[in-house]
Amino acid sequence: RFFYAPSFGIYGGVAGLYDFGPTGTALQQNLISMWRQHFVIEEDMLEVDCSIMTPAEVLKTSGHVEKFADWMCKDTKNGEIFRADHLVEAVLEARLEGDALARKAAGEKVAEAATPAADDKKAKKNKKKGGPVVATKLDDAVAEELRSILAQIDNYDGKGLGELITRFDIRNPSTGNEVTAPVEFNLMFESSIGPTGQLKGYLRPETAQGQFLNFSRLLEFNNQKMPFASAMVGRSFRNEISPRSGLLRVREFTMAEIEHFVDPLDKNHPRFDEVKDVEVRLLPGTVQLAGKTEPITITIGEAVAQGIIDNKTLGYFVGRIYLFMMAIGINHDLLRFRQHLQNEMAHYACDCWDAEIKTSYGWIECVGCADRSAYDLTVHANKTKEKLCVRETLPEPRVYDKLVCETNKKVFGPTLKKAAKPVQTYLETLPEAELAKINEQLLADGLAKITLTGTIADGEHTITKDMVDISTKTFTEHVREYTPNVIEPSFGIGRILYSLIEHSFSVRADDEQRAVLSFKPAVAPFKCLILPLSNHASFEQPLRDIARRLRSNGVPARVDDAASASIGRRYARNDELGTPFAITVDFQTAQDQTVTLRERDTTKQIRGSTDEIIVLVKDLVSGSTTWDDVLGKYELVDTATAADEE
């Protein structure tokens, strides 16, 4: 139904690039506007829209040029490329499935959890991806070890994956050929800016960097007040090694990212109490490292109190992400939050929780929620020498003593000559304890020796008592200066959209051919279908009037007057698009200006005047009334006599 389709299809398409059709585009827009309402508007975030093309220097500083990579290996004979962790995962899963089959055949009882993807489509796909599933019993200890490896597969780096490939003789499943040791492959698309080609650039791999680089402007815009959050919705690009699973792993996708800037000494959140009782399913790192995948159900408040989630701000966002998922219609039982393992964590993060949604492809990371500490602001500030920090006037001045070194300019400069400046910098930045040691030597021997490295005057230098004065001084500080930490919830809109389609999909109990997408009205691409009972000419005017009135009330409405299809068929094909309401114009309309209103999931209908039905639809779409309320107030129409279903 053209929710989405491969881009450039008539040229054969390119893996990992998709176009959204009218339905998918409307669905995506609705998700984004609900996201903006839930986060940007309700939390008063500062939304920005920054450049996609990014100079290489920025991404070098952020660490992406060096570290934004996946591990890749190649079939040694035909050159086929694999993402190393996916290959290992698929092959080991296929072996465990083979083991389960052999055990079942031998009459052994096999726990469903023992086969990673036992019944779902992923298992069928693995048969191809991980090779044919052959019923081969493994030793109990080997099977247990494979399960444990799979539970923490994301924790392996290239070396670890290479060892697994050798140890378990993992080969290309379709050829049986050996594969090479994993090598790093950078995921960024490289480009050049301007006609000379000398300014190297990349398409951004995330929307975060633009928000960091504008930190000082944002802080000023926020009247220097902390904490605050910025947000951005936009395209990001990643040259995935092997794009697959439709929208789940693509090379160009829409992200919605929040950067919440917070005082590192106070990671409380002013609205934490609003989410503390929200119950979520968590899969902490400790559980995964024990080789288990069973989540715990716990409130956000308890999870933070027990130190499972590192701090209140991170906990607050886990709670808010959960509430957003519920608001758009994700199934509660198919959502969990998984903590990143140490090696899996992005190069900048110090704690990270992924919102994972279960689909027929298994558990899919849809939102990453990371504590990026002060990493980004610090590296950009160091590189550019621009201050990216907060200066806060202290309520009470801070008075403290500190051991400091002052130089006696008359002797210091002339004695050390060109080494004077580096030696001075060394002494001024030395930790207090080391300075104290130098002072002791000066007092005892009259001189001390220091060694410089990485300066223009590397080597040993001697300082004498008359060159410096090292003593304790009292300081009064009125302003505290600090680099904020950043908590970053990062949403992949395409993955959420796809998962939502799966969770909303069902077929009618009485007819498997009739598919329904039970989108909530706020999410549904089209809110109201308007259709005539037949293609009688007298229906045309009321149809057009109703459509115009709905649209001018902000309700996206579509007319389906295809004469060739029965009314039941037309209801059915709009159920497939997830359109929640349908207004039908029939012969009675001309007599008394009434129409019928049908709801998609119940297929029940009521009748009312055109005026009241239009108001009802508007209220149903905005959420100010529900279909249950409507059913309580109106009599049901007998569909056999009115706008017949078939």
For binding to ligand AMP (CB under 6 A), which residues are involved? 206, 238, 240, 249-250, 253, 255, 365-368, 490, 492, 494-495
CA 141 – CA 334 distance, rounded (Å): 31
CA 378 – CA 118 distance, rounded (Å): 46
Closest approach, Cβ 326 to ligand AMP, in A, equals: 18
- Which pairing describes strands 46-47 and 228-237: parallel, antiparallel, or unpaired? parallel
Closest approach, Cβ 249 to ligand AMP, in A, equals: 5
Residue 96 or 250: the one with the smaller Cβ distance to ligand AMP is 250
Closest approach, Cβ 42 to ligand AMP, in A, equals: 21
Closest approach, Cβ 168 to ligand AMP, in A, equals: 27
Please give the residue whose beta carbon sits closest to ligand AMP in the complex. Answer: 492
CA 105 – CA 70 distance, rounded (Å): 39
What is the phi/psi pair of residue 129, to 5°?
-70, -40
Closest approach, Cβ 240 to ligand AMP, in A, equals: 5
* 156's tokens: 């392996």
CA 357 – CA 495 distance, rounded (Å): 9
Helix (H) or strand (E) holding 94: helix 84-105
Please name which of 622, 626, 619 lies closest in space to residue 601, comparing C-alpha atoms: 626
Closest approach, Cβ 500 to ligand AMP, in A, equals: 13
In b/e form, how buried is each residue of 201-210, taking b as 16+ CB within 10 angstroms? Answer: bbbbbbbbbb
Residue 68 or 316: the one with the smaller Cβ distance to ligand AMP is 68
* 326's tokens: 């519920």
CA 626 – CA 525 distance, rounded (Å): 18
Residue 154 or 279: the one with the smaller Cβ distance to ligand AMP is 154
CA 368 – CA 257 distance, rounded (Å): 9
Residue 405 or 493: the one with the smaller Cβ distance to ligand AMP is 493
Residue 494 or 608: the one with the smaller Cβ distance to ligand AMP is 494
Beta carbons within 10 angstroms of residue 51's beta carbon = 13
Residue 240 or 575: the one with the smaller Cβ distance to ligand AMP is 240
Closest approach, Cβ 103 to ligand AMP, in A, equals: 36
Closest approach, Cβ 13 to ligand AMP, in A, equals: 16
Residue 206 or 586: the one with the smaller Cβ distance to ligand AMP is 206
Contact in structure between 172 and 179 (CB atoms under 8 Å): yes
DSSP 8-state assignment for residue 39: I
**Of how many residues is the chain composed?**
646
Residue 206 or 259: the one with the smaller Cβ distance to ligand AMP is 206
Tell me if residue 628 falls in helix, strand or coil: helix
DSSP 8-state assignment for residue 52: S
CA 31 – CA 49 distance, rounded (Å): 18
Contact in structure between 171 and 177 (CB atoms under 8 Å): yes
Tell me if residue 336 falls in helix, strand or coil: strand
Closest approach, Cβ 117 to ligand AMP, in A, equals: 20
Residue 206 or 599: the one with the smaller Cβ distance to ligand AMP is 206
Please name which of 91, 110, 107, 193 lies closest in space to residue 150, comparing C-alpha atoms: 91
Closest approach, Cβ 491 to ligand AMP, in A, equals: 6
Residue 490 or 579: the one with the smaller Cβ distance to ligand AMP is 490
* 413's tokens: 């400069």
